[in-house]
Structure 1
Amino acid sequence: MRYHHVDVFTDRPYGGNSLAVFPEADSLTGAQMRAITQELRHFESVFLVRDDSPGRPRPRRARRARVFDLTGELDFAGHPLIGAAAVLHELHGSADHETWTLRLPDRPVDVTTERRGPGRYASLLDQGAAAFLDRPDPDGLAALFALEPGDLDPSLPAEVISTGLRYLVLPVRGDALARARVAQPLDAPLARLGAEFAYLLDAAAMEGRHWSNDGLLEDVATGSGAGCAAACLRGHGRIGSGERSLLRQGRFTGRPSVMTVSADGHGRDIRSVRVGGGVALVGEGRLRELPPP
């Protein structure tokens, strides 16, 4: 079973967010995919399965995608799909620009890719429409991240937004982003808000942070969270409709990353959110033995 090691949201290897892509995973079970992800210890791994259903796009341009993090399967993700499309372009693309349909358990998404040199690509994921689910009372939210109420950005509200995963987007200001940490397990307080994860956003600096809900692992660059941040920024007029802006993440992990974000629409009617970035192909590997099915 061959796989590709890629770095996403960077223009060079050994930067950005690392990822394992399995382009021919038809024979694997979900339990095997989870075990392999835990073995390789990337933040996430993505497994591609051929999609030959009648009436769908040509199989060469379409795959079913299953994404796993260290705890289980995800309904949606950003950087795995962006990295997977670049690997498909490397293996099967004949033109400098290609479009790939990746079918997640609940819906398909399109990713466009551009070849920029040997082992270098740019990918752009269309996450679809954003859903603004709630605007929670800010009382107590700052304390979840060892911050004070005055560290919250008074010009932007906290919002629960989804483009596939439900994020509490929490705008902060000043040096709060640098001081933030997960002060207590987030699963229960986020669930009470109707959220699954949290994304801290410094809108003035265009920089974000995201951790696993237990606070033990900080994500280098979070494509799904960046999409929700883009919807928040567009919804409050901080970026223009369709305007591509740069959102940074990963500075505090030692792997600075840059994501391109944009959103179309006005107010809470955000019809399309796009997140993209560079992809560097780092290496290839082969599993000599598979875990039990």
Structure 2
Amino acid sequence: MKKQVFPFTMVDVFARQTLAGNGLSVFVLEQTLSAYMMQAMTREMRQFESIFLQKLEGQHRWRTHIFTMEEELGFAGHPIIGAAACLHQLYQPDSKTAEFEFVLNERSVFASSKQESGNFFAEMNQGKASFGEPLSASVAENFLKALNLHAHDQVADLPLQVVSTGLPYLIVPIQQHLDKARICHEKFEALLASVGAKFVYVLDVQRREGRTWDNEGKVEDIATGSAVGPAGAYMVRHLRAQAGDTQIFAQGAYVHRPSELHVSLNAEDETVLVHGQVCLVAKGELYV
């Protein structure tokens, strides 16, 4: 039986250079694939996430599916950023800028890419952030304990709060011991669900450095666009940053993949913009 051939591009997202940032596999498809097949291909690539793109009618519109090793996501940041730069490089290499619409299962996300001196920088509009109620001190203490932290690690005048631009993250603002943070609760996913969160983002407010993991605490993410957008909105809401200014967040140092993520809030409509550099790493073909 003849095998199908699927070309792919590998990129590092939110990276100042190759072999840093968050890796991503980008597949541009000529035919529709089943969720089972896309999941299997993602596991074969063994990146944190793979993104599958299929051209739609209309200029620059792409049907989009994003998979982790475990499941399909309704939204994720670094795959959209990486895909925008990749499509720019593949289909509009002579243009300084390019714009795309990524049509996910339940929403569309708009992203743009620009190239400067051979480097690609992409930006996505995550829309307006939504905020849950700040957690009470007793509930916050439970989460801090579940993250191997203590009440004195929390920034005193900042609450733990769920913020979302597509994926709801519990923002945990701390002033010290980011290096000690880890998930040490057997049912952490259920604990998050009790406050309406999908994941956690532990944020050193002064250093603007964050960490997040899968909910079993086994795998730390390298650069999380879907988390840093809410984190930037949180900083503006609590007067630690101003709308219109660019905030630069660090992530990934604890897994030896330093990443740099840029966030800004539109001063007029409060939409969240996340952007960063994307580095081309490799091209190849997958035989299935």
- Specify the TM-score bucket, using the shorter chain as the normaliser: over 0.9
Task: Please give the alpha-carbon distance, in whole angstroms, between the structure 1 residues aligned to 2:135 and 2:70.
Answer: 27
- One of 144, 147, 150 as aligned partner of 1:148: 150
Deviates more, 1:176-185 or 1:64-73: 176-185
| Aligned amino acid, residue 49 of structure 1 | Q
Distance 1:32 1:25, change over 3 A: farther
> Is the partner of 1:189 in helix, strand or coil?
helix
Residue 84 of structure 1: aligned partner: 83
Residue 184 of structure 2: aligned partner: 183
Distance 1:155 1:264, change over 3 A: farther
Distance 1:192 1:86, change over 3 A: same
- Does the aligned pair in 1 maintain the 2:16–2:259 contact within 8 Å? no
Cα offset, 1:41, TM superposition: 1.1
Question: Structure 1, unaligned stretches of length 5 or more?
Answer: none
The CA RMSD over aligned residues, in Å, is 1.4
Residue 172 of structure 1: aligned partner: 174
Residue 228 of structure 1: aligned partner: 230
Task: Please give the alpha-carbon distance, in whole angstroms, between the structure 2 residues aligned to 1:200 and 1:29.
Answer: 35
Residue 51 of structure 2: aligned partner: 46
Task: Please give the alpha-carbon distance, in whole angstroms, between the structure 2 residues aligned to 1:242 and 1:104.
Answer: 28
Cα offset, 1:104, TM superposition: 1.3
Q: TM-score, normalising length from structure 1? A: 0.92
Residue 197 of structure 1: aligned partner: 199
Cα offset, 1:13, TM superposition: 1.0
- One of 14, 21, 40 as aligned partner of 2:19: 14
Task: Please give the alpha-carbon distance, in whole angstroms, between the structure 2 residues aligned to 1:26 and 1:75.
Answer: 21
> Is the partner of 1:86 in helix, strand or coil?
helix
Task: Please give the alpha-carbon distance, in whole angstroms, between the structure 2 residues aligned to 1:50 and 1:98.
Answer: 15
Question: Structure 2, unaligned stretches of length 5 or more?
Answer: 1-5
Cα offset, 1:134, TM superposition: 2.7
| Aligned amino acid, residue 8 of structure 1 | V
| Aligned amino acid, residue 73 of structure 2 | L
> Is the partner of 1:193 in helix, strand or coil?
coil
Task: Please give the alpha-carbon distance, in whole angstroms, between the structure 1 residues aligned to 2:54 and 2:160.
Answer: 38
- Does the aligned pair in 1 maintain the 2:249–2:262 contact within 8 Å? yes
> Is the partner of 2:270 in helix, strand or coil?
strand
Identity rate, percent: 36
> Is the partner of 1:121 in helix, strand or coil?
strand
Cα offset, 1:105, TM superposition: 1.1
Aligned length, in residue pairs: 278
Cα offset, 1:133, TM superposition: 2.1
- Does the aligned pair in 2 maintain the 1:37–1:45 contact within 8 Å? yes
TM superposition outliers: structure 1 runs of 4+ over 3 Å: none
Cα offset, 1:265, TM superposition: 5.3
| Aligned amino acid, residue 236 of structure 1 | H
- Does the aligned pair in 1 maintain the 2:124–2:273 contact within 8 Å? yes
